[in-house]
Structure 1
């Protein structure tokens, strides 16, 4: 056996099971009707083939060497990953689930297989209890994703990719549970030949029908089911196709595939299905995945992993001058690699593997830690609408002398302006809460992130003190400031603490436009209820 340039040899041949006849004619309109619509939707025999997309020249560094590269978008299956067609779909579950008897599916899986299995068990067989056995080193994002899809999860210690025959691992635990109960099924993707044979049934024929000119096929090696099935199929229908398997580089890890050393105990006939193997690192895999995603081919790290393996093989052959040996009658080399997964559950790993320099910066990132409460347009109100709620309903607030206006018993007014401005004029019964971060010339917090950060931190401390001191209680609070924007932030802070609060849209400026506050009055002495923000700790 060889890796990275030497040819894998085997004298044994693996028979190719004849694919069954399609259940229906090609569904060109891609529409699914009737009471069994979901079953048809998940059945590859009832669907158009999954897309095969050629990489444009700027994504193909070997384009001018006569190389054409195509992505087989396995992610376009209803369950969004390659595992929907082999392990859980019509091949493994349809041969193992017994109607009216099977109640539970158990599978050891890193994520994609068992998620797909749970969906197809429900849709195809009415089995709602699918249980995932997996490594305790599984990322939090994957665990949450499995919970999202309703999976019952059991974690196991030890290697993240245990050998299938290891009695201490989750693979054999799942197998034992199924053997001990008649209503539990363990499809066991690691040992079930229906896994790799499903690619003979569906994936291989799809690719060959879409691209009969194919010269090179590339897929990753995890359980090896995908590569075993595809390699076996093309060895039968077009032996000239070069079959490239991709393994992870020693000591590195990409979600899904295994290292070449870990392939040793895999019992599928993968050695007869592969002509060559490349070993690929995680950094290159994530980089290529990111590049493909940004260009419109949305795929995950194992997809970039497969493409990098193909690039490495082509680069070696170019140096050796042997690329032409792969070409077909048209003089071109048509290469297909599998896009197996999506990037979303691995987003944090992209940043860990590639570093922040690969990603555009976030402007105003400081705001991610402040202004965290919700807003509602209904809380920002016009003065003439909200003041009657606070002071009653005089015929005309603009024409009513201030001394005739009194607060309702369960109403409070908080004025956030500086003390001199408050003393010059304020709504009757107001409580002055002057903010250090607010003055008559302060920019709006929504135009200056620094202002918003400072005001939110200060308001959090101030409002905490007021609420703890029972200054507000079960009251309706109106918040006023110079232009209304700081009061809007304060209202959000108060509402987050369960206080019914509103702000005046446009603040004191708007009230003056309505004629409120234009009345010439003597300066009003601040009542004892006035709160000085200087007395409020801000840490």
Structure 2
């Protein structure tokens, strides 16, 4: 057996294999909950979270997956792994199969009630999702999401039958294979006892019942004074992973002899406690909150009965370990549906979540001097004087001059300001499309204005039939407005529609500032 890697550094050809190996990696953390998360601290109760999520596979099912595969995969013979799983077990199997055995052909049988987030998570980890008894990938298994292990209509038996047809296919069978619960006798239990010899109570949820069967069996043998608390879902309710007490009836694992008491827990407090743990630095999913809620309920009952002191140790305190089994990320939508929007901070300017969806690029926003040089074929010194001379002339006064000073071929300058402002001051050869009002705030400082402007641009700039689109189609365009910000939004929309558009940073206001600066330079030279 390899020595434990206390430095937690993995090198060489077996680095990732050692990283996954519980016999080599440092013990998974055991973290005492602070008083803010432990309402019973003043009663002499200390609660520790065993962070099963800190295994490389990020969940408690990594231990069974490792044990099942170690005794199930036959080198040079096994080519395929298939398992019915709601997520964590088969994802752990997929990772461990690749890392330890070089097997990438791992298949998951799933309930049709599996969330879209979980389905995508399994696809993310490269799992092949087999979904009915004929092994076609077109439909999901109907019926209960947690079928009884011996139900021939369900996915558990379907996975078993497929493995029986070929020696190259292995079905580890987390529901009926004793190697599931024995993994916690082998690894999880010894870790906890080594970390906390004074432990008085162990608490875990019951799905396949493997975790509690293993931990309960271990502590019965190694420290029989430890109270063993199992947690089940309340009848008719659901928390991802655990089962109700009724659904445990056909499970053959020795869970009955592995628990001293079972608490039934509802989903809402489970999600709520999980959220509280996460916000206070203990990142854990709903089944972790579920376990802690079961522990709280049990402690409260014993407190009310006056029997809590019977579970304390020699130091007069009660040391409880509860398992953090999963992470919250794949259940985010369920947190919102279970707990309600009022539980979460509101998103300010939420109207922007459905508008202004196209990308921006700083290279599309040109400084005035660079824009003039790019869109007019004039020596820059001449352009500096002539362009500003012409821009100050009213449109009627510029006639004739614009034949000499006009944008370069295959370009067009689009001015979004109102007609009276365009007539007062505009660049030679520009065209007027009055889509922006004068005197308003920047759309980037006013969410409602940005939303309204983006929608208007989507209509006005998004249709090939619109006059503006016919003017700029096949050309490079420079979009101008009062302060540059509305033109920036218009450029984003036009770029998303396939047009080669740029905007003038700062808009006409920036042109005025540039003009003033140039006039000042001229006065200084003359003086």
Contact in 2 for aligned 1:217/1:242 (Cα 8 Å):
yes
User: 166, 172, 177: which is aligned to 2:151?
Assistant: 166
Deviation at 1:25, TM superposition (A): 2.1
**Secondary structure in 1 matching 2:478:** strand
Distance of 1:405 and 1:112 partners within structure 2: 69
Distance of 2:378 and 2:99 partners within structure 1: 61
Q: How does 1:117-196 map to 2 (within 5 A)?
A: 117-154=93-130, 155-196=140-181
Distance of 1:471 and 1:399 partners within structure 2: 28
Deviation at 1:466, TM superposition (A): 5.2
Q: TM-score, normalised to structure 1's length?
A: 0.90
Q: Answer yes or no: is 1:111 the counterpart of 2:109.
A: no
**Secondary structure in 1 matching 2:175:** coil
**Secondary structure in 2 matching 1:226:** helix
User: 454, 457, 463: which is aligned to 2:455?
Assistant: 457
Q: Which residue of 2 aligns with 1:69?
A: 47
Deviations 1:476-505 (A, max 9, x none): 110000110000000000000011111111
Distance of 2:348 and 2:495 partners within structure 1: 28
User: 293, 303, 307: which is aligned to 2:292?
Assistant: 307
Q: CA RMSD in A?
A: 1.4
Deviation at 1:430, TM superposition (A): 1.4
Distance of 2:463 and 2:516 partners within structure 1: 30
Q: Which residue of 2 aligns with 1:409?
A: 409
Contact in 2 for aligned 1:474/1:499 (Cα 8 Å):
yes
Deviations 1:47-79 (A, max 9, x none): 110000001112111111110000000001101
Distance of 1:465 and 1:427 partners within structure 2: 26
Q: Answer yes or no: is 1:46 the counterpart of 2:24.
A: yes
Deviation at 1:467, TM superposition (A): 6.4
Distance of 2:215 and 2:156 partners within structure 1: 24
User: 229, 233, 236: which is aligned to 1:244?
Assistant: 229
Q: How does 1:486-525 map to 2 (within 5 A)?
A: 486-515=486-515
Deviation at 1:387, TM superposition (A): 2.2
User: 206, 212, 235: which is aligned to 2:197?
Assistant: 212
Deviation at 1:255, TM superposition (A): 0.1
Contact in 1 for aligned 2:356/2:451 (Cα 8 Å):
yes
**Secondary structure in 2 matching 1:445:** coil
Q: Which residue of 2 aligns with 1:524?
A: none
User: 376, 384, 392: which is aligned to 2:361?
Assistant: 376
Distance of 2:482 and 2:471 partners within structure 1: 23
Distance of 1:162 and 1:400 partners within structure 2: 82
Q: How does 1:226-305 map to 2 (within 5 A)?
A: 226-305=211-290
Distance of 1:517 and 1:479 partners within structure 2: 23
Q: Which consecutive segments of 4 or more residues in structure 1 shift more than 4 A? A: 466-469, 516-519
- Closer, same or farther: CA 276–269 of 1 in aligned 2, 3 Å: same
Contact in 1 for aligned 2:480/2:504 (Cα 8 Å):
yes
Query: Structure 1, unaligned stretches of length 5 or more?
Result: 1-22, 520-539
- Closer, same or farther: CA 43–467 of 1 in aligned 2, 3 Å: farther
Pick which of 407-416 and 333-342 moved more: 407-416
Deviations 1:256-300 (A, max 9, x none): 000000000101111111110000000010000000000000000
Q: Which residue of 1 aligns with 2:431?
A: 431
Contact in 1 for aligned 2:272/2:339 (Cα 8 Å):
yes
Q: Which residue of 1 aligns with 2:344?
A: 359
Q: Which residue of 1 aligns with 2:208?
A: 223
Contact in 1 for aligned 2:80/2:105 (Cα 8 Å):
yes
Contact in 2 for aligned 1:398/1:516 (Cα 8 Å):
no
Contact in 2 for aligned 1:467/1:473 (Cα 8 Å):
no
Write 1 or 2 for the structure with the bigger share of helix. Answer: 2
**Secondary structure in 1 matching 2:109:** strand
Deviation at 1:237, TM superposition (A): 0.4
Contact in 2 for aligned 1:466/1:472 (Cα 8 Å):
no
Contact in 1 for aligned 2:373/2:380 (Cα 8 Å):
no
Deviation at 1:103, TM superposition (A): 1.1
Deviation at 1:517, TM superposition (A): 12
Q: How does 1:15-54 map to 2 (within 5 A)?
A: 23-54=1-32
Distance of 1:355 and 1:165 partners within structure 2: 38
Distance of 2:377 and 2:280 partners within structure 1: 61
**Secondary structure in 1 matching 2:461:** helix
**Secondary structure in 2 matching 1:247:** strand
Contact in 2 for aligned 1:398/1:514 (Cα 8 Å):
no
Distance of 1:79 and 1:287 partners within structure 2: 24
Deviation at 1:470, TM superposition (A): 2.9
Query: Structure 2, unaligned stretches of length 5 or more?
Result: 131-139, 391-400, 520-527
Q: Which residue of 1 aligns with 2:135?
A: none
Q: Which residue of 1 aligns with 2:324?
A: 339
Per chain length, whose mean CA-contact separation is higher, i.e. which structure has more relative contact order (CA < 8 Å, sep 6+)?
Answer: 1
Deviations 1:438-490 (A, max 9, x none): 32211000111111111111111110235665332111110000110000000
Q: Which residue of 1 aligns with 2:397?
A: none
Distance of 2:357 and 2:159 partners within structure 1: 44
- Closer, same or farther: CA 430–246 of 1 in aligned 2, 3 Å: same
User: 309, 312, 318: which is aligned to 1:324?
Assistant: 309
Count of residues paired in the alignment: 493
**Secondary structure in 1 matching 2:106:** strand
Distance of 1:425 and 1:324 partners within structure 2: 86
Deviations 1:392-447 (A, max 9, x none): 24232221254232122210111110110001121122121112xx3221100011
Distance of 1:175 and 1:387 partners within structure 2: 73
Q: Which residue of 2 aligns with 1:446?
A: 444
Deviation at 1:385, TM superposition (A): 1.2
Distance of 1:419 and 1:390 partners within structure 2: 22
Q: Which residue of 2 aligns with 1:201?
A: 186
Contact in 1 for aligned 2:478/2:502 (Cα 8 Å):
yes
